[in-house]
Amino acid sequence: MKSQLPRKIHKWLMLFVGLQVFIWSVTGLYMVMTNIHYTHGEHLQKPSPTLDVSSLKFNHADVLKSYPNADSISLFNRVGEPVFMVQEGRESTLVNATTKELMPKVTEQEAREIALFQFHDSAGVIAKISYLKVSAPSELSARHLPVWEVQFEGIASPTFYISESSGQVVTKRHNPWRIFDWFWRFHIMDYLHGEDVGNVFFLAISITTLLSTLAGCCLVYQRVLSNSFLNSFRKFVNRWAKRRTTHVN
């Protein structure tokens, strides 16, 4: 005799949580189908150009004399010219590797040049550039401020955030990542910040869905595994055994 209880539990609980289960399925499917490195926009930025250390006018030792408390001194190419980035705690300073002069903060024109130099598409066109000093959009951590927000034309709306002090692309975004971020919020049901997996909505709906799913598992057992599937399996085994016996005889 089949109990109707699992069917009732499954039906009535799913009435409350069915929509969220659908949202979990859609958001989960998007996340697993989209390559995480593509989502992170790693293809948007060209690899750094190579350095020529043989013709340096100044080297790390010269810079260290001026900044003895530096935690690190990095030499790299910025828009074709070698620069040193001196890191002291969270502060970063740029030093021109040809003149050893302190480089001023990145201007709008320099931010444009840096963005175009590093953008993967050499035909890329800048749609908008903004200076962000006080507040950061949700896709940018406030610790990176002040930055230049350089938005390129294109359906994916790729955007580089360039530090005003270091001239480095501190992060980048494009629409697939923005969609991922929003889907993540819907997946963990933290619609404001997308950070708290232990929020009360998530826990309540998860527990209800788990109960409903367990009831669904009982239904699967009642209607599939205990009947047709096992019967079919039993028939298959019997047929196979019979054929084997005939073959041996």
Partner 1 sequence: MLTKRANAVLHKWLATIVSIQLVIWLGTGLYFGLADDPKASGNQFRQKVEHKSEGLQTPTLIAPEKLSSKLTDAKRVSLVWRLDKPYYLAFFQEKPHGYQKQSVKWFDAETGALWVINENYVTELAQQSLKHTEKAKLMENATINLISRGTKDIPSERNTIWAVALNNTDNTTIYISDVSRKVIAHVDDHKRLKNLMFQLHFMDYFNTGGFNNIFSKVFALLTLMLAITGLRWLFIARLKD
Counting contacts by CB under 8 A, is residue 137 touching partner 1? no
Long-range contacts (CB closer than 8 Å, 24 or more residues apart) made by 78-87: 78/114, 78/167, 79/110, 79/113, 79/114, 79/117, 80/49, 80/117, 82/51, 82/52, 82/56, 83/167, 84/58, 84/60, 85/166, 85/168
Query: What is the rounded distance in angstroms from the CA atom of residue 42 to the CA atom of residue 57?
Result: 33
Return the residues of window 4-63 that contact partner 1 according to CB under 8 A. Answer: 11, 14-15, 18-19, 21-22, 24-26, 28-29, 31-36, 40, 42, 47-51, 53-54, 56, 59-61
Counting contacts by CB under 8 A, is residue 65 touching partner 1? yes
Q: How far is the CB of 203 from partner 1 (least distance, A)?
A: 5
Counting contacts by CB under 8 A, is residue 64 touching partner 1? yes
* C-beta closer to partner 1: residue 35 or 130: 35
Q: How far is the CB of 129 from partner 1 (least distance, A)?
A: 23
Counting contacts by CB under 8 A, is residue 178 touching partner 1? no
**Contact code string over 187-226 relative to partner 1, x by CB under 8 A:** ----------xxx--xx--xx-xx--xx-xx-xx--xxx-
Q: Which residues contact residue 96 at a Cβ distance below 8 angstroms, ignoring those fewer than 6 apart?
A: 81, 83, 84, 102, 103
Place of tokens 């996340």: 31
Counting contacts by CB under 8 A, is residue 79 touching partner 1? no
> Binding residues for partner 1, per CB under 8 A?
11, 14-15, 18-19, 21-22, 24-26, 28-29, 31-36, 40, 42, 47-51, 53-54, 56, 59-61, 64-65, 68, 70-77, 197-199, 202-203, 206-207, 209-210, 213-214, 216-217, 219-220, 223-225, 229
